[in-house]
Amino acid sequence: MEIEELKNSIFGIGEKNEAYVQYFIGQSYLKPLSTTQIPIFNVTFEPGCRNNWHIHNAEKGGGQILICVAGKGWYQEWGKEARLLQPGDVVNIPAGVKHWHGATKDSWFSHLAIEVPGENKSTEWYEPVVEDYEKLK
């Protein structure tokens, strides 16, 4: 998958994700699709780009849903094996689960990130994903 294919895809790639650059290795792009009711964002990762380990916290409800729309990527929860993601895959991430997600080393990757409604939500960011990522094929 090449960047031109993503630019011409149904959701496009959006703008460089400058607001969260400190939480990513590599370049990501963010395109808001809905910012009312339930926030939905198309997040695009260049090859090798991934976010840091993080947790979506909430006192009640909360979490995140990822719907993969283009390319190939990875999702991993703390203490578990990484899961390869491809278009059509869905990941339900409950609040309080430490995880990361991003592109494979050789493919662009896009997913819709859907914020699950909850009370007193926050995101807690942790260390970059380096050793776990380097082990992936």
What pLDDT was estimated at residue 10?
83
**Res. 17 pLDDT band, cuts 50 70 90:** very high
The residues with which 106 forms a beta bridge, in sequence order, are none
What pLDDT was estimated at residue 68?
97
pTM: 0.94
Encode pLDDT of 31-84 as tens digits.
999 999 999 999 999 999 999 999 999 999 999 999 999 999 999 999 999 999
Residue 53 · residue 99 · CB < 8 Å? yes
